[in-house]
Homo-oligomer: A and B are copies of this chain.
Amino acid sequence: MGLVNHVFSEESLKKLHVSNLGIGHTRYSTSGNSALENCQPFVVETLHGKIAVAHNGELVNAAQLKRKVMRHGVGLSTSSDSELITQLLAFTPPLEEDHTADWIARIRNLMNETPTSYSLLVMHDDVIYAIRDPYGNRPLCIGRLIPVNNEGRGKRSAETEGWVVSSESCSFLSIGAEYYREVLPGEIVKISRDGVQTLDIVPRTNGDPSAFCIFEYVYFARPDSIFEGQMVYSVRRRCGQQLAIEAPVEADLVSTVPESATPAALGYAEKCGLQYVEVLCKNRYVGRTFIQPNMRLRQLGVAKKFGVLSDNFVGKRVVLIDDSIVRGNTISPIIKLLRDSGAKEVHVRVASPPIKYPCYMGINIPTKEELIANKPEFNDLAGYIGADSVVYLSVEGLTSAVREGIKAFKDEQNGINGKTRSTSHGHCTACLTGEYPVELEW
């Protein structure tokens, strides 16, 4: 329990045995309590040896599966849907002792039992299986460890020292690995001494395209991560450019709510020809912000988080780009801060569409009632947050900003022989549109 840096101290790492494979997990709990028992990976002993399971995602049919597992006579010790996956892998037939353990059959069976969402790592013996559900809802990608003395600049080394799997490719660089490829929706990948091998690609039952979570681009992923062949930063910059087309404004300068909105702000400034200027600086040492019951305290909380660079905007009309406005609690004290420090006008432009619907596939979104887009105040949002104007990016604008990069990647891929992989790249936009890619059942 706790931050990776605290849990995996130098001392605790020294105690680990040197070995050839391993899996880990950092959990920001969405389903199941934040309790020690829910920490992953789940390790259980089965008749055919130990397995360890790490799971990113949330099973849409968890309640139904839970009854099924308990009906079989298993006592469940946690509230986590990841334990269900582990027990399903343990009791999937064949269970006779005289049979060999057919892990592939077990994994396929699991994928029949639950449609989405899961990106999984299953470790058994000297093999790691990397699995992505048929919807491809959660990301998963593979990296290649490059040998130590590689001094090559800008070109790939021929040798491979090992393989790593991660939800986000941004983690590869810091351990000396480079991005290799995504695990495809429905793909079962086996990683062993023999390298990376595709065992199967399980399609969605109805043949529909995959449904990758579009919110990873907007909010969750690090800007240097690669999904579907493109860098997240580039998508965000295109969102800013698209926003400049959809919602231009007469102003003196464009700025950002640092740091997440900066790519969109640079894209906006670039497209509309206004100067990009910093109006806020982030206080690196700010700690937890407690819940603040009134405007005065929220104001101080924001002023603790950001410093104001008033000399840069006194008397000016500011276009302030934010990446998303979810509850609407943070943006209004920021606007007040800028006005109190001398901004003449503050126009807010949001580089994503409003969130209106809950997510059942692993993203922790506030309840419908808490979402500003479902509140009466949304009708006069500019007045409510104290802005001179406020405009969100359209869903179509977001989708086209995402697809533009995928198209470019596919075109490039098609030009290169051998490496093309055909998947229809659909996206889950349920939180924005209410169109869920899977039937929800309890």
Q: Which residues of A contact B (CB under 8 A)?
A: 3-5, 10, 36, 42-47, 51, 67, 70-77, 86-87, 89-92, 95, 97, 148, 152-154, 170, 173-176, 222-224, 230-231, 233-234, 259, 262-263, 266, 270, 275-278, 281-285, 287-288, 290, 296, 299-300, 303-304, 307-312, 336-337, 339-342
Q: B residues within 8 A CB of A87?
A: 73-75
Q: Is the interface of A mostly helix, strand, loop or mixed?
A: mixed
Q: B residues within 8 A CB of A309?
A: 223-224, 231, 233
Choice from B174, B262, B281 contacting A224 with Cβ under 8 Å:
B281
Contact B223 A281 (CB under 8 A): yes
Minimum C-beta distance from A176 to chain B (A): 6
User: Complex Cα distance A276/B337, Å?
Assistant: 26
User: Complex Cα distance A187/B51, Å?
Assistant: 38
Q: B residues within 8 A CB of A95?
A: 71-73
Q: Which B residue's beta carbon lies closest to that of A53?
A: B75
Tell me how many chains of this kind the complex includes: 4
Q: Which B residue's beta carbon lies closest to that of A87?
A: B75
Q: B residues within 8 A CB of A5?
A: 285, 287-288
Minimum C-beta distance from A5 to chain B (A): 3
Q: Which B residue's beta carbon lies closest to that of A301?
A: B174
User: Complex Cα distance A95/B72, Å?
Assistant: 7
User: Complex Cα distance A270/B89, Å?
Assistant: 59
User: Complex Cα distance A70/B217, Å?
Assistant: 43
Contact B231 A173 (CB under 8 A): no
User: Complex Cα distance A173/B223, Å?
Assistant: 30
11 more contacts with CB within 8 A, not counting A47-B70, A154-B339, are A43-B77, A46-B70, A47-B71, A47-B73, A73-B91, A170-B283, A173-B337, A224-B309, A233-B278, A233-B312, A259-B284
Q: B residues within 8 A CB of A42?
A: 77
User: Complex Cα distance A234/B170, Å?
Assistant: 33
Minimum C-beta distance from A96 to chain B (A): 8
Q: B residues within 8 A CB of A266?
A: 276-278
Known: A46-B75, A148-B296. A278 touches B263 (CB 8 A): yes
Minimum C-beta distance from A35 to chain B (A): 11
Q: B residues within 8 A CB of A222?
A: 281, 283, 307
User: Complex Cα distance A231/B273, Å?
Assistant: 27
Contact A75 B97 (CB under 8 A): no
Choice from B71, B174, B278 contacting A304 with Cβ under 8 Å:
B174
Contact A10 B290 (CB under 8 A): yes
Contact B76 A311 (CB under 8 A): no
Known: A276-B276, A304-B174, A340-B153. A90 touches B73 (CB 8 A): yes
9 closest Cβ pairs, A-B complex: A73-B91, A44-B75, A224-B307, A75-B90, A5-B287, A174-B304, A47-B70, A173-B303, A231-B311
Known: A153-B340, A154-B339, A224-B281. A176 touches B307 (CB 8 A): no
Q: B residues within 8 A CB of A45?
A: 70, 75-77
User: Complex Cα distance A177/B198, Å?
Assistant: 62
User: Complex Cα distance A222/B4, Å?
Assistant: 28
- Provide 9 A-B residue pairs closer than 8 Å at the C-beta atoms, listed in order of the A residue: A5-B285, A36-B36, A43-B77, A44-B76, A70-B90, A154-B339, A231-B311, A233-B281, A259-B282
Contact A310 B231 (CB under 8 A): yes
Choice from B76, B92, B339 contacting A153 with Cβ under 8 Å:
B339
Q: Which B residue's beta carbon lies closest to that of A386?
A: B153
Choice from B284, B285, B340 contacting A4 with Cβ under 8 Å:
B285
Q: Which B residue's beta carbon lies closest to that of A231?
A: B311
Q: B residues within 8 A CB of A223?
A: 281, 307, 309
Q: Which B residue's beta carbon lies closest to that of A276?
A: B276
User: Complex Cα distance A176/B295, Å?
Assistant: 12
Contact B308 A233 (CB under 8 A): no
Minimum C-beta distance from A120 to chain B (A): 15
User: Complex Cα distance A122/B118, Å?
Assistant: 35
Q: Considering residues A71, A86, A224, A340, which has the most beta carbons from chain B within 10 angstroms of its beta carbon?
A: A224
